[in-house]
């Protein structure tokens, strides 16, 4: 692609907000455009502060660090970060044998085992009695179980994709100092007024310290308050509350054990789910719940009981979440990134994915079409589709759950508010067809790979009852599970414990 340098060269871009979204954006823009004379300024209010949560990522964050040239030893120790190979879902299903499953990040080892899993799920969906739980088929599940990190020993040529866990505040600090060192101007003040020109474009931001900060383009990273996109430009917000009932969270840290885990654990609770995120110095815990079904006090008590902290005076933090997305992420001369553009509950730790995707899409679009907005509609469509795709995958967890212990779970299980894309995927699964082929053939929009869908639906045990095997059937070509176990076991021998992989010096 040829770079259209004329339209953004020497422009000035102002970012409002210094949370993770603001500093990721600042680093990406300065890295890409500093040599085009683009000036980047970031304004953040020390009084307002950041949301201070968001400690899990997918492999997308690794691609961001790789792209801006930051190596792991440079940032991970400073952010108390650990490696993450996937997420365990515990107690979401009540089906015997499926009370827990693991959603792995992909690895090259899957090439030898995923087909066997797909084959078994295919047979099991026809009622044939084969082993069809995902965990025995994926290397990352074994690494998680053993608390191993994702980096193989030097002589073992299998790549495992991975994400990270990190302290959100420390990550913000790291990204801030890096961006400033590379030339991003930093203003610490609260924006109290937004000045617009006659055509509606944003012209300048006025701060409580009397500064006026003008720019050609503005990026709204002001968090849930969405000061530019929603408050000033009045972009409507589309709530996802009809599909996703959770709107609150309570957060409590606990001590880290000697052997640090390499997975996030998401455990279903009475009115939502609790995360457990291992960092080097502590475990981050939080309960994401629906305030329509339980009070903040009840949620805190349930979380404390789970963590053995009923008698402890460790303070809990309570947060409200606004779940949904704006109608347009890029409007006039303003782009929304982060919580200001939308949020989907953090069940699959996807918020920073959407941040990185939006920023990358913006850079690519501007380089192709300029800053004036010619590529705006395309970006809005793609980012909206990204949000809808993630929402569908999260909603699937709730639709297929088999808990019935509270109204919350019963209502989730019977919720008919399902997008056509998700409905199609569930239908394909139930009719026993190949998910991968059908997703491709029917052009079903999804950001998740077929493997992720197979793991989710197989992991929850969405299978019919076992039927007596006919004489000529798939079970005749049985996958040898002992061979799969041995293969995965031998692969896993080439990965050291997470603790050892975190020794950077």
Ligand X SMILES: Cc1cc2nc3c(=O)[nH]c(=O)nc-3n(C[C@H](O)[C@H](O)[C@H](O)COP(=O)(O)OP(=O)(O)OC[C@H]3O[C@@H](n4cnc5c(N)ncnc54)[C@H](O)[C@@H]3O)c2cc1C
> Annotated catalytic sites, by residue?
84
Angle at 350 between CA 57 and CA 165, to 5 degrees: 15
For ligand X, which is the closer residue by CB, 31 or 165? 165
Nearest Cα neighbor of 452 from 482, 479, 429, 427 is 429
For ligand X, which is the closer residue by CB, 20 or 384? 20
Min CB(349)–ligand X separation in Å: 4
End-to-end CA distance of the chain: 40
Query: What residue ranges bind ligand X (CB under 6 A)?
Result: 16-22, 43-45, 48-51, 53-57, 168, 190-191, 221-223, 225, 227, 249, 286, 319, 321, 338-340, 346, 349, 351-352
Element (H, E) at 489: helix 481-492
CA–CA gap between residue 3 and residue 369 (Å, rounded): 9
Q: Is 364 left (phi over 0), alpha (psi -120 to 50) or beta?
A: alpha
- What does the block give as tokens for 293? 């079904």
Min CB(3)–ligand X separation in Å: 28
Min CB(394)–ligand X separation in Å: 12
Residue in this structure with the two tokens 């101007």, named with its chain if needed: 185
For ligand X, which is the closer residue by CB, 130 or 390? 390
For ligand X, which is the closer residue by CB, 211 or 312? 211
Min CB(194)–ligand X separation in Å: 9
Min CB(346)–ligand X separation in Å: 3
For ligand X, which is the closer residue by CB, 208 or 500? 208
E strands, 22-133, where? Answer: 39-44, 82-84, 86-90, 100-104
- What does the block give as tokens for 408? 């919350």
Min CB(421)–ligand X separation in Å: 23
Q: Write the CB contacts of 281 (distance below 8 Å, at least 6 apart in sequence).
A: 80, 167, 256
Min CB(104)–ligand X separation in Å: 17
Exposed e or buried b per residue across 176-193, where buried means at least 16 C-beta atoms within 10 angstroms of its C-beta = bebbeeeebeebebebee
For ligand X, which is the closer residue by CB, 266 or 333? 266
CA–CA gap between residue 219 and residue 15 (Å, rounded): 5
Strand duo 317-320 + 248-255: pairing: antiparallel
What 3-state DSSP class applies to 238?
A: strand
For ligand X, which is the closer residue by CB, 52 or 378? 52
What 3-state DSSP class applies to 180?
A: helix
Angle at 392 between CA 391 and CA 394, to 5 degrees: 65
């Amino acid at each position: 692609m040829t770079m259209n340098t004329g339209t953004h060269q020497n422009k000035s871009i102002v970012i409002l907000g210094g949370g993770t979204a603001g500093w990721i954006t600042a680093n990406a823009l300065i890295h890409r455009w500093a040599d085009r004379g683009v000036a980047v300024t970031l304004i953040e209010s020390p009084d307002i502060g950041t949301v201070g949560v968001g400690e899990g990522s997918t492999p997308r964050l690794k691609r961001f660090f790789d792209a801006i040239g930051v190596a792991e030893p440079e940032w991970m120790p400073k952010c108390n970060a650990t490696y993450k190979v996937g997420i365990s879902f515990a107690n979401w299903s009540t089906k015997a044998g499926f009370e827990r499953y693991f959603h792995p990040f992909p690895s090259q080892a899957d090439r030898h085992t995923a087909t066997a899993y797909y084959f078994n799920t295919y047979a099991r969906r026809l009622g044939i009695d084969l082993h069809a739980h995902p965990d025995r088929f994926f290397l990352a599940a074994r690494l998680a179980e053993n608390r191993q990190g994702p980096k193989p020993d030097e002589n073992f040529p299998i790549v495992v994709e991975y994400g990270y866990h990190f302290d959100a505040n420390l990550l913000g600090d790291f990204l801030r100092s890096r961006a400033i060192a590379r030339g991003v101007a930093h203003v610490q003040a609260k924006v109290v007024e937004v000045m617009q020109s006659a055509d509606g474009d944003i012209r300048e931001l006025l701060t409580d310290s009397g500064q006026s900060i003008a720019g050609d383009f503005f990026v709204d990273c002001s968090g849930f308050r969405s000061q530019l996109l929603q408050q000033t430009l009045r972009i409507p917000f589309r709530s996802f509350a009809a599909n996703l009932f959770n709107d609150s969270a309570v957060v409590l840290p606990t001590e880290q054990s000697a052997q640090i885990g390499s997975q996030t654990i998401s455990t279903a609770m009475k009115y939502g789910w609790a995360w457990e995120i291992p960092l080097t110095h502590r475990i981050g815990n939080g309960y994401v719940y629906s305030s329509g079904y339980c009070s903040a006090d009840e949620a805190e008590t349930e979380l404390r009981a789970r963590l053995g902290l009923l008698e402890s005076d460790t303070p809990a933090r309570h947060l409200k979440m606004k779940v949904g997305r704006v109608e347009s992420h890029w409007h006039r001369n303003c782009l929304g990134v982060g919580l200001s553009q939308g949020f989907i509950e953090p069940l699959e730790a996807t918020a920073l994915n959407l941040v990185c995707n939006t920023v990358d899409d913006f850079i690519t679009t501007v380089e192709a079409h300029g800053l004036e907005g010619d590529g705006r509609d395309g970006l809005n469509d793609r980012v909206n589709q990204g949000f809808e795709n993630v929402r569908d995958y999260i909603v699937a967890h709730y639709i297929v759950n088999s808990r019935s212990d509270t109204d919350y779970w019963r209502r989730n299980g019977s919720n008919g508010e399902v997008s056509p894309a998700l409905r199609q995927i569930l239908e394909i699964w139930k009719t026993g067809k190949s998910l991968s082929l059908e997703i491709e053939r029917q052009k079903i929009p999804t950001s998740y790979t077929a493997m992720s869908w197979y793991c989710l639906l197989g992991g929850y045990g969405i299978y019919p009852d076992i039927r007596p095997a006919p004489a000529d059937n798939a079970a005749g070509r049985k996958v040898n599970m002992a061979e799969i176990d041995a293969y995965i076991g031998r692969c896993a021998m080439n990965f050291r414990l997470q603790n050892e992989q975190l020794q950077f010096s």
